[in-house]
Amino acid sequence: MGRYRRLPTMPTRHTDLGPLGAAVLIAKVNWGIGMIAMPFYLHAAGLEAGLLFFVLSMLLAWDAANVMHHLAQRLQETSYVALIFKGLGPRGSVLAVLAVLLAGWGSAVAWLKFIGDNVARFGGLRGALGDGRLDVALLALPLMACAWVEDITLLERFSFLGLVSGQCFVLLIFILAAKHWVELPSYLQSQPFLRLESFPVAMGIAVFCNEGMVVMSSEVSSAMLRPKQFSWAAMLAVTYFTVNYLLLALCGDFLYSYLPGGTVAQEVTLSPAFSVTPMHRVAVLCYVLQLLLTFPSSLFLIFRNTEQFFPSLRTASLRRTWRVALVLSCCGCAAVLPHFGDFLAVFGAVANSVCIYILPHLTLLSQGKMTDHQGPLVDDLGASPPDISRTRRLWSWFVLTFFGGCCGLLAAAVSFCYLVDHIQGSRAKVTEMLDRTGQFPSAVSQTLTDLAFRCIRSNPAERPLFKTLVEELRDLFLVLLTCLGRPTMDKDNELIWVRHDKTLGFVGYNNTREVH
């Protein structure tokens, strides 16, 4: 390692943290915008598969945090990027900086998207653009002020209130769902074990929730009074974090997907069943407050790791310029992004997989190889760090290749296709989003697809949108007449459909509807 330049490290505040304080600090850093997508995650993954995979992803994140703790003791460094630099050299540290930057940037975009959408809907502050884009633009002003702030110690003291606000959000959704607990058994029976077509997207969302804990683990362990207790502190944080995230996922999917018979939105607060009620307003306010109080810490995590790696950014003018550019890029992406669920999945599958599954384990394996060739290392006090066992190496290789390589690439590819479909629109995506329980005949399904696709890909320059929709609705009505016959009134003033053609596959349609 002597041929590499030494990477400067940032000073660490030794606060003599105990296990409980360290667990709270880890939970605060890790608790972020990914929670809002958890009901969508569970619906996309399938009930049992979603629960099991999220628990597995949290255990893998806990293992990666322990790896970084082990590396911090072994290499006598506290920064994530500095540890990767010492283990893998300049190329590894460049990849680490890019992964942290992309993961943090993705979180910032989703954070701004959530704030803009929900302030517009629940706060009644819709901008001149008719949605939350103007609200996102207004948020850029106070965020750009962060470029001139160098110490957020005072703000970090209030971040605990953000964790309390996030906990209140979960409890409010749980209270709303508890009123319908009598229907929970039927919900559990109706949910599939696995939704294979959308499971890769769910994988990316699950991974997205864990990056902060791994990146901060070495700094947290170095600030503990007894660093050997870090593993227990991290497990306490992971347990608390997992229980809350899965509780919201289960309650959200049950309350806003199963009960109304629809599909939960990628932002659960934008689901059709998440109506604008006083209870929902309070819940959204709690989570907005949580983001406002905890997000600056995550933002400065990006600043610190990036500026530590690039010496040119340590001058005041360049540092402020790149910080402002980063904030503006986040706001610009949030303003044009239609949904953040697929966006989180893409960034989780790419950047967070590198941060969690690839770089920590690759660095650990490189240290084991170095020990085999050069003998055990000796720290400044003359003590040798513990050797890396064969079982530990085999497990790291498995996580690196299977979860970091295979699963990460699969989730990234599928999530990217979903993201492109949501941005551009596609007939296949529209067909998939139609309610399949309605047993639409093929002709009706095709007409509904064309109508929905025309709505999302309309071109007002060609002809008035109103005329286009009227013609599409007329075509849909003609198809319904072909499939169902003409509507007539029976003696009880109920509207019934007299089906003339039974060859179109519209099986078991005997429903009636009252006319009011």
Q: Indicate which CATH number applies to the domain containing 313.
A: 1.20.1740.10
The H or E element that residue 82 is part of is helix 80-122
Cα gap 48→247, rounded to integer Å: 14
Cα gap 304→299, rounded to integer Å: 9
Q: Note the pLDDT of residue 506.
A: 39
Q: Which residues pair with 17 in a beta bridge?
A: 224
Angle between helices 38-45 and 199-208 in degrees, nearest 10: 150
Question: Cα-flanking dihedrals φ and ψ of residue 307, to 5°?
Answer: -70, -25
Residue 467, classed as helix, strand or coil, is: helix
Q: Which residue has the tokens 């703000």?
A: 155
Question: Are the C-beta atoms of residues 72 and 283 closer than 8 Å to each other?
Answer: no
Token pair of 444, please?
């009706």
Question: Are the C-beta atoms of residues 276 and 121 closer than 8 Å to each other?
Answer: yes
- Residues 400, 435, single domain; the answer is no
Sign of the torsion angle spanned by Cα atoms 374, 380, 384, 388: negative
Question: What are the C-alpha distances in Å from 457 to residues 117, 425, 426?
Answer: 21, 7, 9
Cα gap 169→157, rounded to integer Å: 21
Question: Are the C-beta atoms of residues 268 and 274 closer than 8 Å to each other?
Answer: yes
For residue 47, being part of any structural domain is answered with: yes
- Residues 420, 458, single domain; the answer is no
The residue among 340, 325, 60, 377 whose CA lies nearest residue 205 is: 340
- Residues 409, 473, single domain; the answer is no
Structural domain that includes position 492: 431-514
- Residues 445, 418, single domain; the answer is no
For residue 241, being part of any structural domain is answered with: yes
Cα gap 232→56, rounded to integer Å: 17
DSSP letter, residue 182: G
Q: pTM (2 decimals)? A: 0.74
- Residues 139, 112, single domain; the answer is yes
For residue 4, being part of any structural domain is answered with: no
Sign of the torsion angle spanned by Cα atoms 355, 356, 362, 367: positive
- Residues 412, 448, single domain; the answer is no
Spatial neighbors of 276 by CB under 8 A, at least 6 apart, are 121, 122
Question: Cα-flanking dihedrals φ and ψ of residue 8, to 5°?
Answer: -65, 145
- Residues 418, 435, single domain; the answer is no
Q: Note the pLDDT of residue 232.
A: 93
Cα gap 184→178, rounded to integer Å: 9
Q: Which residues pair with 495 in a beta bridge?
A: 489, 513
- Residues 465, 492, single domain; the answer is yes
Count the Cβ atoms, other than its own, within 10 Å of residue 442.
11
Cα gap 195→45, rounded to integer Å: 5
- Residues 366, 316, single domain; the answer is yes
Question: Cα-flanking dihedrals φ and ψ of residue 338, to 5°?
Answer: -75, -40
- Residues 484, 420, single domain; the answer is no
Tally of structural domains, the chain = 2
The H or E element that residue 488 is part of is strand 487-489
Count the Cβ atoms, other than its own, within 10 Å of residue 272.
12
- Residues 415, 452, single domain; the answer is no
For residue 3, being part of any structural domain is answered with: no
Cα gap 292→63, rounded to integer Å: 29
Question: Are the C-beta atoms of residues 40 and 52 closer than 8 Å to each other?
Answer: no
- Residues 414, 469, single domain; the answer is no
The H or E element that residue 513 is part of is strand 513-514
For residue 493, being part of any structural domain is answered with: yes
The H or E element that residue 199 is part of is helix 199-208
For residue 231, being part of any structural domain is answered with: yes
Boundary of a domain, candidates 405, 424, 443: 424
Q: Which residues in the chain show pLDDT less than 50?
A: 1-14, 127-130, 372-378, 380-384, 435-438, 460-463, 493-516
For residue 328, being part of any structural domain is answered with: yes
Q: Which residue has the tokens 């209870």?
A: 279
For residue 195, being part of any structural domain is answered with: yes
Burial of 186 per CB tally in 10 Å (0-12, 13-18, 19+): exposed
Question: Are the C-beta atoms of residues 482 and 501 closer than 8 Å to each other?
Answer: yes
